[in-house]
Amino acid sequence: MIMKETKKMKFSECLSHLFVFIKPYRFKLLFGILMVITAQVTFALNPTVEGMITTQLASDISSHQPIQIDKVVHILCILFTIYIVKTISQFLMAIFMTDAIQKTMFDVRNAIEDKIHHLPVSYFDQEKTGELLSRITNDVDTLSNALQQTLSRVISAVCTFTFVLFMMFRINVLMTCIILVALPVIALLSKFVVKKSQPLFDDQQNTLADLNGTINELYDGYNEILSYNQQEHALKRFEKDNERMRVSSFKAQFVSSLINPLCSLITYLSIGCASLVGCLQVLNGTIALGQLQAFIRYIWQINDPISQISQLSSAVQSAFSAMSRLFTFLNQPIEEDVVSKCQIDEVRTIEFEHVQFGYDDNLLMKDVNIDVHQGQTIAIVGPTGAGKTTLTNLLLRFYDVKGGSIKINGIDIRELSYHDLRKLFALVLQDTWLFEGSIEQNIAYGNEKALKNEIVEAAKQANVHHFIRTLTDGYDTLINEEGSNVSQGEKQLLTIARALLKNPEVLILDEATSSVDTRLERRLQGAMDRVMENRTCFVIAHRLSTIINADKILVLEHGDIVEQGNHEELLNKNGVYARLYNAQFAK
> Closer CB to ligand ATP, residue 284 or residue 513?
513
Residue 356 contacts ligand ATP per CB under 6 A: no
| Beta-ladder partners of 563 | 555
Picking from 205, 190, 210, the residue whose alpha carbon sits closest to that of residue 249 is: 205
Q: Which one of the spans 285-293, 385-393, 420-428, 462-470 is the region binding ligand ATP (CB under 6 A)?
A: 385-393
Q: Which helix (H) or strand (E) holds 385?
A: none
Give the nearest distance from C-beta 566 to ligand ATP in angstroms: 21
Site residues (CB under 6 A) for ligand ATP, limited to 67-126: 125
Decide: is 382 part of the binding site for ligand ATP (CB under 6 A). Answer: yes
**Following DSSP, what letter does each residue of 253-280 receive, concatenated?**
HHHHHTHHHHHHHHHHHHHHHHHHHHHH
Distance, in Å, from the CA atom of 339 to the CA atom of 330, rounded to the nearest integer, reads 23
Residue 183, SS3 per DSSP: helix
Q: Given candidates 390, 461, 492, 546, which one binds ligand ATP under the rule CB under 6 A? A: 390
CA dist., res. 114 & res. 330, Å (int): 9
Smallest separation, CB 398 to ligand ATP (Å): 9
Residues 116-135 that bind ligand ATP (CB under 6 A): 125
Q: Is 386 in the site for ligand ATP (CB under 6 A)?
A: yes
* Binder of ligand ATP out of 389, 438, 488, 566 (CB under 6 A): 389
The yes or no reply on residue 441 touching ligand ATP (CB under 6 A) is no
Q: Does 385 bind ligand ATP (CB under 6 A)?
A: yes
Supply the DSSP string of 278-320, one letter for each residue. HHHHHHHTSS-HHHHHHHHHHHHHHHHHHHHHHHHHHHHHHHH
CB 235, CB 285: distance < 8 Å = no
**Count of CB atoms situated within 10 Å of the CB of 497:** 29
Concatenating the DSSP letter of every residue in 113-157 gives HHHHHHS-TTHHHHS-HHHHHHHHHHHHHHHHHIIIIIHHHHHHH
Query: How many Å apart are CA 460 and CA 566, to the nearest integer?
Result: 32
Among positions 357-376, residues that touch ligand ATP (CB under 6 A) are 359, 364
Nearer to ligand ATP, 100 or 540 (CB): 540
Smallest gap, in angstroms, from Cβ of residue 118 to ligand ATP? 18
Site for ligand ATP in 199-238 (CB under 6 A): none
Q: Is residue 388 involved in binding ligand ATP (CB under 6 A)?
A: yes
- Residue 4 lies near ligand ATP (rule: CB under 6 A): no
384 is a site residue for ligand ATP (CB under 6 A): yes
Residues 299-316 as b/e (b if ≥16 CB within 10 A, e otherwise) read bebbbebbbbbbbbbbbb
CB of 579 to ligand ATP, least distance (A): 17
Inter-residue contact 350 to 372 (CB < 8 Å): yes
Q: For ligand ATP, which is the closer residue by CB, 234 or 556?
A: 556
Binding of residue 463 to ligand ATP (CB under 6 A): no
The nearest distance, CB 385 to ligand ATP, in angstroms, is 4
Which residue lies nearer to ligand ATP by CB, 310 or 392?
Answer: 392
CB neighbours of 136 closer than 8 A, spacing ≥ 6? Answer: 112, 326, 329
Toward ligand ATP, which CB reaches closer, 123 or 163? 123
- β pairing state of 411-412 and 403-408: antiparallel
For ligand ATP, the closer CB: 207 or 390:
390
Which parts of this chain interact with ligand ATP (CB under 6 A)? 125, 359, 364, 382, 384-390
